[in-house]
A = this chain, B = another copy of it.
Amino acid sequence: MTNYAPLIIQRADPFIYRHSDGYYYFTASVPAYNRIELRRSKTIAGLAHAMPRTIWRKHESNSGEESELIWAPEIHFINNAWYIYFAAAETTAFDDNGMFQHRMFALECLNDDPMRSEEDWVEKGQIKTPMSTFALDATVLQRADQLYYIWAQKDPEIFGNTNLYIAEMSNPWTLKSVPTLLSKPEFEWETRIFAVNEGPAILHRNGRYFLTYSGSATDENYCMGMLIADENADLLDANSWHKLSQPVFQSDVAHHLLGPGHNSFTVSEDGQTDLLVYHIRNYSDIKGDPLYDPNRHTMVQAFDYDESGVPVFGKPVRFTEE
């Protein structure tokens, strides 16, 4: 890896998907939270200079759902169609739980080229779960013919902001099973300033599913935790998942590497090296609401495994100085 750190300026909640057409596709939250854009490159380094196309834009403010705060899109290719999952609110106001009012939504594109035109992307509506509460950061896991949905949501009965859940899907925008609670913020490092479990990401390696997620407030306290399940386990059984009691990735304050998290995974161009994709801040003296500070930047770095096959992410790589 000879890439710059950070790789992409002012993109938070970064997601990279490597497709069979030879391209890496990149999407993320944009600072204005008003649209979903895609870019692509045949190299990881090229993503920094790849020109985005808008593939969907938020509805007009005060027009109902999907009209504010478009967050954390992910792009997936499922059964020969493209899907984008994203969180959106109908207002910037808080609800009775003191939370933002996001729900999860899906878009579908049947064209082979997901960047051809906005016209190719069709709204599939809200992804409904049994609770009508703040929900965000969904991802999917495909095992044989079964599609699983993994996301973060508020339960008014549970202390804190959001927990992690899993459910089976009947199609890429519809749940078919009751959600299983996988993790709630409980350790000290998950509950700093805010008690949060969010941003789940799946890594399938060495006979196991590794589910990483992010905890605590999105400042220098933000960090990553991990759950582990056997690849053949009943993924809807909470007991199949083992939660680590320590964070797996966190700030390096001495080097101004602050609040790494909201990760995804990809692989190097030769397929030989696993890559951790995440965002980070380089300063903590933020003026005003951190949500409107655009300086969360996308990092991409290699990681390895210990003798037992468990990923070891190490520390955030130092920023490139030029």
Name A residues whose Cβ lies closer than 8 Å to a Cβ of B.
Answer: 4-10, 30-32, 39, 41-43, 45-46, 48-54, 57, 117-118, 282-283, 285, 287-288, 293-295, 297, 319-320, 322
Contact = CB atoms under 8 A, between A and B. Distances in A.
10 closest cross-chain pairs (CB), A and B = A46-B322, A4-B49, A32-B32, A43-B322, A41-B322, A51-B282, A42-B322, A49-B320, A48-B48, A51-B297
Contacts of A48: 4, 9, 48-49
Contacts of A295: 51-54
A279 to B, nearest CB: 12
Contacts of A54: 287, 293-295
Contacts of A46: 4, 320, 322
Contact of A7 (B5, B49, B293): B49
A16 to B, nearest CB: 14
B322 A9 contact: no
B322 A45 contact: yes
Contacts of A320: 46, 49
A121 to B, nearest CB: 12
Contacts of A43: 322
A320 B51 CA distance: 10
A50 B41 CA distance: 21
A30 B48 CA distance: 17
Contacts of A41: 322
Contacts of A294: 30, 32, 52, 54
Contact of A6 (B4, B9, B49, B297): B49
30 contacts: A4-B48, A6-B49, A8-B9, A9-B9, A9-B39, A9-B49, A9-B50, A9-B51, A9-B52, A10-B52, A30-B31, A31-B31, A32-B32, A32-B294, A41-B322, A42-B322, A43-B322, A45-B322, A46-B320, A46-B322, A49-B320, A49-B322, A51-B295, A51-B297, A51-B319, A52-B295, A54-B287, A54-B295, A57-B287, A57-B288
A31 B49 CA distance: 16
Given A5-B49, A51-B319, 18 more contacts: A4-B48, A6-B49, A9-B49, A9-B51, A10-B52, A30-B31, A30-B294, A32-B294, A41-B322, A43-B322, A45-B322, A46-B320, A46-B322, A49-B320, A49-B322, A52-B294, A54-B287, A54-B295
A43 B4 CA distance: 13
Nearest to A287: B118
Nearest to A44: B322
A308 B253 CA distance: 56
Contacts of A7: 49
Nearest to A285: B117
Given A118-B287, A287-B118, A322 B50 contact: yes
Contact of A32 (B31, B52, B53): B31
